[in-house]
Structure 1
Amino acid sequence: MSTILKNNFNSAIIGIGHPLFDLIVTNVDQEFLHRYQLESDDAILADNERHQILCDELIENFNDIQFVPGGSIQNTIRVAQWFFDQPNVCTIFGCIGNDDFGHQMKCKIEQEDHVKSVYCIDNTRPTGKCVCLINVDSNGSHHRSLITFLDACHGFRMEILQQNLSLFNNTRIIYTSGFFLISNPDCVQLLAELCRKSSNDIKFALNLSASYVVKNHSQRLLQIFPYVDLLFGNENEAFALAETLEWDKDDKIDDIVEKMAHLESKKTNRTVIITQGPDEIIVVSTNSFVQKFPVPSIPTGEIIDTNGSGDAFVGGFLAYHLTGHSMIDCINAGTYAAQQVIRCCGCTLPESNELRLSN
């Protein structure tokens, strides 16, 4: 770890995204899903008419609801902070409602996760939520159905960044997503330029987020790609990008990741990290060849919920990247975090961390 990081660790990693409050229910049956026209192993945006009373019904009828801070960027920031004893190494920006869910989430983020939160407050819309309904089939396998209510997430304002630019004085990594890019392109552009002009060599990290983001918003992604130092995604998103950019249909995943690393860049080097579930993780940098890292197997019976595992991987990776570790150490930290999360419901973390970093 460098001396600079030791002396200036506050807000060293800053995430900006859509903070959600996850409501997790573990014993939902198929009849309940069908009543709300939901499918197992699916993720959708809420339909206000169809899903309006869903949260109220869950709170009224299920006693075992877990309330966990969520949202892809916030998950990653929470996991990255989990690797440090020092509080406030990581900071999250986002927008929440002026309601009980928002107050609960801020309390949990700061007091339990030790993450600094900088939230806009939207007085007209409720805090965004992600309902995670888990059901178990006859074979004992766990399935999840995700319903996202973005609500106040849409209310993020540029002014909250401009009012808190001093927080970025010690920052080494800024992390955001394709999801946030769609709704707040001007904010993402501001942060990308901040990284490019910084004398501190701030790394700009981006997650592709979802295949539909890649397919439907490719122009916005291409506009921001030149600023990206660290690009995260999975194989489905990588293939979606190749299809959208009309690359050779015979390209294998290795070829696609290599092309992603060599897209136009305003930086000297870009690293692309693509996960493939239980299969090898592929890493390509502008200045290096394709690297592949195997993922340790985990017994199927220990897998409770894969929701948040990709976010957790990035969190572990960024924590170790921040502290100057090798690529294999960063991958191992990411994999370790992901495999801790999939043993739990939602992006929840055990108290112990075998790979915790000392400052």
Structure 2
Amino acid sequence: MESEGILLGMGNPLLDISAVVDDDFLQKYDIKLNNAILAEDKHIPMYDEMASKYTVEFIAGGATQNSIKVAQWMLQIPGATSYMGCIGKDKFGEEMKKNSMKAGVNVHYYEDEAAPTGTWAVCVVGGERSLIANLAAANCYKSEHLKRPENWALVEKAKYFYIAGFFLTVSPESIMLVAEHAAANNKIFTMNLSAPFICEFFKDVQENALPYTDYVFGNETEARTFSKVHGWETENVEEIALKISQWPKASGAHKRITVITQGADPVVVAEDGKVKLFPVILLPKEKLVDTNGAGDAFVGGFLSQLVQEKPIEDCVRAGCYAANVIIQRSGCTCPEKPDFS
């Protein structure tokens, strides 16, 4: 494979502020476990309280950036991946740059003069996590940055693209520029449903991008919300995956494949009107550290094999391997080398 810059991600770079909290904290800020939401005014004091009251870890995160970092780790080829998004000109932004470059990702951040770097509160209770995003600068990405020659060169170079659904809330124009480029040049464009609220409140922009997608990722909760929003009247994840795979396509060069994870239950893959189930690697409860980033890691592992043109079985196996590694660690962090074969 021609490896340099083969995979490009675009998304909302957020610095993870990760801590094990307690039920009182969740109640105080009206946080539900296993959920991902955007911060409201009532959540803003929470970030400082987490940092002062609990033991906090800082990790360069955000859904797409997590997946790209994991793909980079799995590939072990310097510069195989690139990433774009918006950060602030501040200490958290510097932390993010350092962290991503250390991971071997070629980052081209747009640096906003006014807004602070976005943060992602990761509240962990009993191994389960809840995410509250304060997008801040991540919300300020502009397609002008993408169009700059040095950045568009990354698009030209890449053969695979991955964008989490969260970016639909920020720069749908950038998504469509990349999606149309991929369709016109017979490249692979992949997206994630990302969160129930994306399927509910950003339905129109999601539907605009969907015809361009060659792979759609998601989990069972997102899939069921997608089904409900589209009036499909089914909760059956296999049926929903199939329906998403059969959504009309903007380019006939590739079929669409839907990949839905279900926690400890099998991964659902729908393609060519058929559904296959792939078992995940089960982990004893005592080895589970936290589920934050498991879905992102799955996508990163999957993409690491996809860009090498491996069969779908290998892509899913790599996704399950990466997710299994990540949930045994705090936050979406990787050991030095993978031992996937």
Q: TM-score under structure 2 normalisation?
A: 0.93
Distance 2:251 2:138 in 1: 31
Deviation for aligned residue 1:53: 3.6
Choose 184-193 or 230-239, whichever is displaced more.
Answer: 230-239
Q: 1:32 to 1:274 in 2, by over 3 A?
A: closer
How much has 1:181 moved relative to structure 2?
Answer: 1.5
| 1:229 Cα deviation from its structure 2 partner | 0.6
Q: How far did 1:296 drift?
A: 2.2
Match of 2:14 in 1: 20
Counterpart in the other structure of 2:293:
308
- Give the number of equivalent residue pairs: 337
Q: 1:94 to 1:295 in 2, by over 3 A?
A: same
Structure 1 counterpart SS, 2:217: strand
Number of the residue aligned with 1:134:
124
Contact 2:36 2:195 survives alignment (8 Å):
no
State the Cα distance separating 1:37 from its structure 2 match: 4.3
Counterpart check, 1:211 vs 2:203: no
Q: Matches of residues 160-179 of structure 1 in structure 2 within 5 Å?
A: 160-163=145-148, 164-179=151-166
Question: For 1:282 and 1:51, how far apart are their aligned partners in 2?
Answer: 35
- Counterpart of 1:69 in structure 2 is 60
The yes-or-no answer on 1:108 pairing with 2:92 is no
Larger radius of gyration: 1
Q: How does 1:44-59 map to 2 (within 5 A)?
A: 44-48=37-41, 50-59=42-51
- Could you tell me how far 1:289 is from its partner in structure 2? 2.0
Change (3 A) 1:341 1:301: same
Distance 2:296 2:278 in 1: 18
1:138 is aligned to: none
Report the secondary structure of 1:290's partner residue.
Answer: strand
Q: Which residue of 2 aligns with 1:122?
A: 112
CA shift digits 1:303-323 (9 cap, x unpaired): 111111000000000010100
Deviations 1:136-194 (A, max 9, x none): xxxxx334343221100111011111111112232111111221113211111101111
Work out the CA distance in 2 between the residues paired with 1:216 and 1:52.
Answer: 22
Partner Cα distance (2:169, 2:19) in 1: 29
Q: SS state of the match for residue 132, structure 2?
A: strand
Structure 1 stretches of 4+ with a deviation exceeding 6 A read: none
User: Alignment partner of 1:231: what SS?
Assistant: strand
Amino acid at match of 2:104: H
User: Kindly, what percent of the aligned residue pairs are identical?
Assistant: 35
What's 1:221 paired with? 206
Deviation (angstroms), 1:40? 4.5
Aligned residue in 2 for 1:197: 184
Q: Greater shift after overlay, 97-106 or 165-174?
A: 165-174
Within 2, Cα distance between the matches of 1:11 and 1:224?
Answer: 23
2:325 aligned partner, one-letter code: Q
Pick the aligned partner of 1:92 from 47, 63, 83. 83
Q: Structure 2 vs 1, CA of residues 299 and 121 (structure 1 numbering), >3 Å: closer, same or farther?
A: same
Distance in 1 separating the partners of 2:274 and 2:25:
49
In structure 1, give the amino acid aligned to 2:257: T
* Aligned mates of 1:51, 1:280 — CA distance in 2: 35
Give CA-to-partner distance per residue, 1:44-85, whole Å, 9 cap, x none.
32233x3434333443444x3211111000000000000122
Distance of 2:140 and 2:92 partners within structure 1: 16
Whole-Å Cα distance in 2 between the matches of residues 292 and 143 of structure 1? 24
1:91–1:23 distance in 2 versus 1, CA, 3 Å: same
Deviation for aligned residue 1:29 = 3.2
What residue is the counterpart of 2:237 in the other structure?
253
Gaps of 5+ in 1: 136-140
Contact 2:293–2:331 (CA under 8 A) maintained in structure 1: yes
Asked if structure 1 preserves the Cα contact closer than 8 Å seen for 2:298 and 2:318, the reply is yes
Tell me what 1:262 maps to: 246
1:154 pairs, out of 119, 139, 146, with 139
Q: Residues 146 and 218 (structure 1 numbering): CA distance in 2 closer, same or farther, change over 3 Å?
A: closer
Q: Which runs of 5+ in 2 are unaligned?
A: none
| Partner residue of 2:22 out of 29, 39, 42 | 29
The answer to whether the 8 A contact 1:272-1:284 is kept is yes
Question: What is the aligned-residue RMSD (CA, Å)?
Answer: 1.8
2-structure distance, mates of 1:30, 1:82: 34
Q: Is the 8 A contact 1:229 1:267 kept in 2?
A: no
CA distance change for structure 1 residues 40 and 258 in 2, over 3 Å: closer, same or farther?
closer
Q: For residue 237 of structure 1, report the CA deviation from its aligned partner.
A: 1.8
Amino acid in structure 2 at the alignment position of 1:342: I
Aligned residue for 2:333, secondary structure, equals coil
